[in-house]
Amino acid sequence: MFPCDFAWGAGTAAYQIEGGWQADGKGPSIWDTFCHEKKGRVFGDQNGDVSCNSYELWEKDLECIQQLGLTHYRLSLSWARLLPDGTTRHVNQKGVQYYNKVIDGLLACNVSPMVTLYHFDLPQALQDQGGWKSPGIATLFDSYAKFCFQTFGDRVKLWLTINEPYVCAKLGHEDGIHAPGLKEPGIAAYLAGHNMLRAHAMAWHSYNSTYRATQKGAVSLAINSDWLEPSRAEIMRSAIDAQSKKLGYNGSSRLPSFSKEEPAILGTADFFALNYYTSRKVEPGGGCGKALSMKTDRDAAEVLDPSWPICGVSWLAVVPYGLRKLLKYIKYTCNNPAVYITENGFSQVGPLQIEDVQRSEFYKDTVLEVAKAIQEDGVNVRGYFAWSLLDNFEWADGFSVRFGLFHVDFADANRRRRMYHSGREYAKLISEYKTLS
């Protein structure tokens, strides 16, 4: 049912779990600044200064990974921990040692790392020079990427350059609800997104020309997409157009300079890395003021289906079958690529529920949909990464929204980790499906 080399994983990101925000020579990142400089940006004015303290407690994370029986673990590198001012002029050896310990620790347990180079945390020093809006950032990212390929690529074989360029660009540069907190209507988010794609492509080409032959790994970028379901057959076309836009095929790009660079950007993904969380229904003609209307386009509106259960956070309707449909859509529109589901999860809010039965059901249902996508639809799915290994700092929601397979007690000095029922369920699924493959 699942190929025997299927990647069973879980993911995290540096700023969300590491803490140690100024430990051992780390430079500040835009998330450090975003949380510290002004009140009212993050739930309860919380920050990631300590979070799960994985900077010190990474061996505890390894224990969690082993308890789940994962074959893969997705982590991100903090650019500012490795290169405090963002450039290779100054390398923080303590940062290199930290990631070496984690990567070697994973390999010693027979777990393969999937490494994200950039998960929302730009070095503040580079933000001070214009950040993602400035075209020069692409070259700086490329140097950072080459440094990482050179330093860790003998052991890391799966790379993601940038996590969710859409989210970084839009939430960070237009909505102002993520770092760097810019609320600039107009072209800012497009410029940032454009430079992220240029940066990604440069790094992919560097890997391709310099490292691929010896390191034999693969490089992609993680794209977030919801599934858009036509509410009625006759509006299929609007749903397909909207879905294409979600996946980034926006024919009416407002960036005139884009086309010039397209040849260098096209084809710069060795696999399709998909972050999927939720689905929307597409209604014709603007959705007409419905309370559940999320977004309105010229010809169509995205709405939530009232029959879909909502999990902890309001944007998250739980629709496991949407993942299967999206995978099939990717198969047919993107020429049957190898796909890794690099994030998928279900959050809870409110009082601690270690026996989180609803989340356990969610993992069971979702993994079954992935199995059907492979077996019945012939989608080339190579791996599934639950988000997240641990409860962590959920960006603007702080610690109020919990996505972990392990509960983390943030009031405890030792940040005790405790497996949720959903963690046990995921471990069970992995071991059962492994024996079938």
Q: One symbol per residue from 368 to 387: x for binding ligand FCB (CB under 6 A), - otherwise; what is it?
A: -------------------x
**164 included as an active-site residue:** yes
Classify the C-alpha dihedral 322-357-74-429 as positive or negative: negative
* Least distance CB 54 / ligand FCB (angstroms): 14
Residues 6+ apart with CB under 8 A from 102: 58, 61, 75, 113
Q: Which of residues 263-282 bind ligand FCB (CB under 6 A)?
A: 275
Q: Which two tokens stand for residue 178?
A: 């993520």
* Least distance CB 343 / ligand FCB (angstroms): 6
Closest by CA to 348, choosing from 310, 307, 306, 303, is 310
Give 402-436 as a DSSP string: E--SEEE-TTSTT--EEE-HHHHHHHHHHHHHHHH
* Least distance CB 81 / ligand FCB (angstroms): 17
The torsion angle over the Cα atoms of residues 362, 18, 103 and 59, rounded to 10 degrees, is -80
Looking at beta carbons only, is 281 or 402 nearer to ligand FCB? 402
Among 395, 420, 426, 433, binds ligand FCB (CB under 6 A): 395
Total residues contacting ligand FCB by CB under 6 A comes to 12
Judge whether 403 and 11 are in contact, CB under 8 Å.
Answer: no
**343 included as an active-site residue:** yes
* Least distance CB 31 / ligand FCB (angstroms): 11
Looking at beta carbons only, is 231 or 388 nearer to ligand FCB? 388
Main-chain phi, psi angles of 215, to 5 degrees: -90, -25
Looking at beta carbons only, is 13 or 239 nearer to ligand FCB? 13
323 scored as a contact of ligand FCB (CB under 6 A):
no
Residue with token string 């059901």: 361
177 scored as a contact of ligand FCB (CB under 6 A):
no
Q: Which two tokens stand for residue 21?
A: 């925000």
CA distances from 403 to 53, 205, 316 (A): 17, 34, 12
Closest by CA to 418, choosing from 361, 351, 353, is 353
Catalytic residue among 283, 302, 343, 425: 343
Closest by CA to 321, choosing from 378, 279, 359, 357, is 279
* Least distance CB 222 / ligand FCB (angstroms): 7
Looking at beta carbons only, is 15 or 190 nearer to ligand FCB? 15
Q: Which of residues 33-92 bind ligand FCB (CB under 6 A)?
A: none
- Residue 184 CB neighbours (<10 A): 14
Among 167, 187, 264, 338, binds ligand FCB (CB under 6 A): 167
Among 55, 272, 329, 403, binds ligand FCB (CB under 6 A): 403
31 scored as a contact of ligand FCB (CB under 6 A):
no
Looking at beta carbons only, is 356 or 394 nearer to ligand FCB? 394
226 scored as a contact of ligand FCB (CB under 6 A):
no
* Least distance CB 403 / ligand FCB (angstroms): 6
Residue with token string 């082993």: 66
* Least distance CB 313 / ligand FCB (angstroms): 8
* Least distance CB 93 / ligand FCB (angstroms): 27
Among 164, 283, 356, 369, binds ligand FCB (CB under 6 A): 164
Distance CA 137, CA 131 (A): 7
Q: Which of residues 134-163 bind ligand FCB (CB under 6 A)?
A: 163
Closest by CA to 163, choosing from 203, 200, 217, is 200
Catalytic residue among 164, 174, 229, 425: 164
Judge whether 338 and 271 are in contact, CB under 8 Å.
Answer: yes
Helices (H), 183-257: 188-206, 212-215, 236-246
Among 7, 10, 13, 106, binds ligand FCB (CB under 6 A): 13
Catalytic residues: 164, 343
Binding site for ligand FCB (CB under 6 A): 13, 16, 163-164, 167, 224, 275, 343, 387, 394-395, 403
